[in-house]
């Protein structure tokens, strides 16, 4: 009962702050359109987001591709439809697993770090200090991170798409006795531009969500070390919830046409 109450409170507070978050995000984006631009800071966020998340995202993708191959084989061998496995791995990795799992991973890795960094800057007056030095913290801190999220996660997810399918291939050929050439031919035959586009669009949206939650909760944190801890938790929890919610919405939009 308590857990359900906590979940309810989380969802309610998320809805309650939704307006403030959207305004915060729009203000951040508007700074991307007006100089000065902080290319150096964007680059640093981008490298942190894309390059340093690569190992985590890669491992997640490979293992989930492997698991999908194994699960669908045990499930479908009863119906003798094992040739469909290449297709199942492809669709589930590209449409769902790669963007969602990569999004959740970077929410834990990058989103948490953003919230902690900005939160610490807030409670140690560094954000105020920026303003006294003729620098807009929204432009200096938030805008580069939003752009980094928007651009970095699609890149990561493309890599995750390939590696996830590769993980499935590994299990299918090494363990389940598929012929490598046939498996690859099947995969290429099922490959579909729309699925890849969906994958990348989801990634871009999730990237923005991760950066926005990290920045929003960090920027608005109060109350010392405890406040920074709470901001970090909120950033990860709400980014995760929003990623799953938007995953549904985007899938619905994409296939209802």
Binding site for another protein (CB under 8 A): 117, 121, 124-126, 128-135
Tell the smallest beta-carbon distance from residue 155 to another protein (Å): 24
| Cβ–Cβ under 8 Å, residues 210 and 146 | no
Neighbours of 208 (CB within 10 A): 20
Largest pairwise CA distance in the chain: 70
Q: Which residues, including other chains, have CB under 8 Å from residue 90's CB and lie 6 or more apart?
A: 165, 168, 187, 190, 191, 195
Cβ closer to another protein: 4 or 133?
A: 133
Tell the smallest beta-carbon distance from residue 235 to another protein (Å): 19
Tell the smallest beta-carbon distance from residue 130 to another protein (Å): 8
| Cβ–Cβ under 8 Å, residues 176 and 72 | no
Cβ closer to another protein: 129 or 225?
A: 129
Cβ closer to another protein: 125 or 179?
A: 125
Nearest CA to 235 out of 207, 219, 215, 213 is that of: 213
Tell the smallest beta-carbon distance from residue 15 to another protein (Å): 23
Burial of 94 per CB tally in 10 Å (0-12, 13-18, 19+): buried
CA distance 74 to 64: 15
Cβ closer to another protein: 1 or 133?
A: 133
Neighbours of 39 (CB within 10 A): 9
Tell the smallest beta-carbon distance from residue 120 to another protein (Å): 8
Cβ closer to another protein: 90 or 121?
A: 121
CA distance 74 to 60: 21
Tell the smallest beta-carbon distance from residue 42 to another protein (Å): 14
Cβ closer to another protein: 135 or 233?
A: 135
Cis, bond preceding 29 (omega within 30 deg of 0): no
Cβ closer to another protein: 132 or 193?
A: 132
Tell the smallest beta-carbon distance from residue 227 to another protein (Å): 15
CA distance 187 to 24: 42
């Amino acid at each position: 009962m308590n857990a359900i109450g906590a979940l309810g409170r989380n969802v309610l507070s998320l809805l309650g702050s939704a307006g403030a978050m959207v305004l915060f995000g729009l203000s951040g984006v508007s700074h991307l359109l007006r100089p000065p631009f902080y290319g150096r800071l964007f680059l640093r966020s981008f490298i942190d987001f894309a390059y340093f998340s690569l190992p985590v995202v890669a491992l997640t993708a490979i293992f989930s591709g492997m698991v999908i191959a194994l699960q669908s084989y045990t499930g479908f061998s009863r119906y003798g439809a094992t040739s469909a496995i290449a297709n199942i791995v492809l669709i589930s990795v590209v449409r769902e697993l790669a963007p969602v799992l990569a999004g959740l991973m970077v929410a834990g890795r990058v989103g948490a770090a953003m919230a902690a960094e900005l939160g610490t800057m807030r409670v140690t007056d560094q954000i105020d200090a920026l303003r006294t030095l003729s620098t807009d913290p929204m432009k200096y801190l938030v805008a580069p991170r939003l752009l980094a999220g928007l651009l970095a996660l699609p890149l990561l997810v493309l890599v995750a798409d390939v590696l996830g399918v590769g993980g499935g291939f590994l299990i299918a050929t090494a363990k389940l006795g598929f012929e490598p050439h046939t498996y690859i031919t099947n995969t290429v035959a099922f490959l579909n531009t729309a699925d890849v586009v969906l994958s990348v669009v989801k990634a871009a949206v999730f990237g923005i969500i991760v950066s926005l939650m990290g920045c929003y909760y960090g920027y608005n944190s109060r109350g010392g070390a405890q406040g920074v801890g709470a901001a970090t938790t909120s950033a990860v929890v709400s980014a995760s919830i929003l990623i799953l919610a938007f995953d549904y919405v985007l899938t619905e939009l994409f296939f209802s046409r």
